[in-house]
Amino acid sequence: MQKEDGQLTGGCYGAPVYTNRFWTTSALGKRTRFQQTDNAQLLLQVTRLPVEGDGCQDKELVASSNNLMPKALNLDDDTVLEAINFTDPDGQEVFVLNKMENWSVAIAALLLRSKLEKGSRRRVERSMRQLEELFNQTMRQEPSAGQRSRLFYAAKIPPVWEIQRQLAELLLSLGAVGSALEIYEQLELWEDAIACYQRLGKTEKAETVIREQLAVHETPNLWCFLGDITRNIEHYEKAWVLSKHRSARAQRCMGYLYFAKEEVGTDCGEFSAVIRAYHRLMDLRDRWVDEQVLGVLVRGVRENIADASGVRLSQVEQSLRELFGRITSKVTDNAEIWRLYAELCINDTEKQHHTDPVTKEIPSEDIRVVCSQLEDKMAVVVERLDTLKQGS
């Protein structure tokens, strides 16, 4: 096929057989039964020009029986109309679905409509019924393979198991977990089936399937599923190692497990990796701010917490200062960021002067020095803010 200046021409078996002219436009119309005023509706205007020898149409298929074509199901909604009711209906029609003349194109068009409608509360039921109808249609003996092959590659019809998978996902979103489970088991999509077992409360069955699949092939997700059921942190650690330290799910589940055990001081990562990741996020989004992460890092510096590798956060304090410098140069109006930055600076000042081991307070003779240093640092901050304001 070739698109030239709003014109689509193509042919079957090397012969030019049809010409369509198309363009986007708008027209007044109603979408609901109770709509009082006509609103502008976006539509694709298609005009088929008569061309002799239209071999792409399955004339034999259309003439033999309409039952061989996939059935476009009605919406049957008490509010939304089956199609847009245009004020001027002349020339306005659903070009493909109203005139289905090719099996492959009809299947592709109905699949696309089902995909678009699954997010609509009033259309999701038809989306489900239509997917069931399309699956049944593909499993029938008729039409013949020769009739189905016309425009098959141009329509890009997905495999039948992909249609089943889409149907299972839709059933799962509607709460029909049992029906979705049957399809997943039939397709041997075990990870999706395990999730269904968990939702149904069949933990023993889920564990049996997980261990059977682990014996066949180990994956990080399977180990995470096993950890969800057994609540054994070693399974999450196995998933973390198996994923080469890339499984976000394993880390998240370990965090939830530690939190449930009230071991909130346990850290599963590395502080230096967190700082590098934050720099990377700022490379992608210039003004990225995550106050919670920054607060944890500052608290880690003040309390000198060690990460999973045994590295104290005080050892990467300079890197954290550089990160705060970059953040405050981009985000100048966030009070919480400046408060955390000030805590980091105060921590540095405290380390430069000895503190009383009992009261944990700075001796009075050092207070003037501390205040002087804080004033100098605040002056630098104010000067930087003034420079940024002048630059903007």
**Residue 245, Ramachandran bin (φ over 0: left; ψ between -120 and 50: alpha; else beta):** left
State how far the Cα of 227 lies from the Cα of 41, in Å rounded to an integer. 51
CA 166 from centroid of its chain's CA atoms: 16
Report the alpha-carbon distance of residue 132 to residue 126 in Å, rounded. 10
Q: Which residue has better confidence, 238 or 95? A: 238
- Are 283 and 327 in contact by the 8 Å Cβ rule? The answer is no
How far, in Å, CA of 361 to CA of 350, rounded? 9
Residue 131: pLDDT band (50, 70, 90) is very high
CA dist 372 and 305 (Å) reads 29
User: Are 45 and 22 in contact, with CB atoms under 8 Å apart?
Assistant: yes
Q: In which band, very low, low, confident or very high, does the pLDDT at 376 lie, cut at 50, 70 and 90? A: low
Residue 14 has pLDDT above 50, yes or no: no
pLDDT confidence tier of residue 379, bands split at 50, 70 and 90: low
Helix axes 203-216, 220-230, angle to 10 degrees: 150
How many whole angstroms separate alpha carbon 131 and alpha carbon 135?
Answer: 6
pLDDT of residue 266: 46
Lowest-confidence range among 103-112, 192-201, 379-388? Answer: 379-388
pLDDT classification of 350: cutoffs 50, 70, 90 = low
C-alpha span between 314 and 299 (Å, rounded): 10
pLDDT tens digits, 198-208: 999 999 999 99
* Eight-state DSSP code of residue 71: P
Q: pLDDT exceeding 90 applies to what percent of the chain?
A: 26
Report CA-CA distances (Å) from 244 to 215, 220, 275. 20, 10, 20
pLDDT of 164 above 90: yes
Q: Kindly tell me if the per-residue pLDDT of 1 is higher than 50.
A: no
Binned at pLDDT 50, 70 and 90, residue 352 comes out as: low
Q: In what helix (H) or strand (E) does residue 43 lie, and over which residues does it extend?
A: strand 39-49
Q: Where are the domains of the chain?
A: 1-156, 218-268, 285-391
pLDDT at 168 (0 to 100) = 94
Dist CA 209 CA 193 (whole Å) = 9
**340, 236, 345: which is closest to 293 by C-alpha?**
340
Per-residue pLDDT tens for 259-293? 777 655 544 457 788 888 888 888 888 888 888 78
Provide the pLDDT for residue 4: 42
Cα angle: 85, vertex 88, 90; to 5 degrees: 100
Quick one: which of 32, 48, 30, 50 has its CA closest to 40? 30
- What is the SS3 string spanning 76-92? CCCCEEEEEEECCCCCC
Confidence at 226, pLDDT banded by 50, 70, 90: very high
| Strand bridging mode 39-49 / 80-86 | unpaired
